[in-house]
Amino acid sequence: MTAATTDQPVDDTRPLWGIAQYDDGTRRVPWPVSHAEIERGMAGAIPTLTGVGVGVGSRVLWCTLLSEAAHFWPLFIGTMLGGAQFSLADATAPDALRVGMFLRRLEYRAVMGVNDAVLDGFDELGRSYAEVFGGVPVVGARPGAYERLRAVGLAPHWFVLCGPAVAISVEPGGPARVDPGEWTLHEEYGRILVTSRRPRATTFDRTPTAIRGSLVDDHSFFPETGDPS
């Protein structure tokens, strides 16, 4: 079943926060987003970040794109609500320069959202992944980048945009987890589907995502290319 757009949550009469997009494996799908769900996401981000050691006085470098704002904005605000600081870089090959600059000049607890494009940028610059990321305790990598980092001996965490949801592993090699208060996961022929558990501007009911993998439970999974050992 695909996403069905509904009215705003009954307790939120404000205009929409925005129109986001997510990848369902075949196309970019428009996704109306309410203020209420963004605010819940801010609060929900705090325990997730705490789980990877991000807290008072620490720093996170987020690698993202403007089209991913609805996924990342709650994480940005959750970072600050938890007492940490954050920096931003585009998840593009040219902005590998910015990622490298930040990681040279400042001490970070985590860099999150690393993708293939960022790693391609470091390849073009002739910089090894171990040189760039070796001093960062937590490297949250998207599918594709995750495997490339593991191949050179690093121990990344999963960072997965699973349709409209964000899934992060709290330990290297562990399953990627969504917020269990907001999402239920399903698996159908190897594809991960999502169902929303609370009122949203868009209702999701076993909605397909671009992610393939195997469920651990109804809120965590190993992406298809992951190593669950």
Question: What tens-digit pLDDT sequence spans the chain (229 residues)?
Answer: 555 455 555 577 899 999 999 999 999 999 999 999 999 999 999 999 999 999 999 999 999 999 999 999 999 999 999 999 999 999 999 999 999 999 999 999 999 999 999 999 999 999 999 999 999 999 999 999 999 999 999 999 999 999 999 999 999 999 999 999 999 999 999 999 999 999 999 999 999 999 999 999 999 999 997 443 3
Q: How far apart are CA 17 and CA 86, in angstroms?
A: 22
The separation between CA 195 and the C-alpha centre of its own chain, rounded to angstroms, equals 17
144: left (phi > 0), else alpha (psi -120 to 50), else beta? left
Domain locations in the chain as residue ranges: 4-223
**HSE toward the beta carbon, residue 66, CA cutoff 13 A:** 0
Each as own residue / partner, the long-range contacts of residues 130-137 (CB below 8 Å, 24 or more positions apart, any chain) are 130/154, 132/99, 132/100, 132/103, 133/103, 135/103, 136/103, 136/108, 136/109, 136/110, 136/111, 137/53, 137/109, 137/110
What is the pTM for the complete model shown?
0.93
* 134/178 Cα distance (integer angstroms): 26
Q: Does domain 4-223 have CATH number 3.40.50.12780?
A: yes
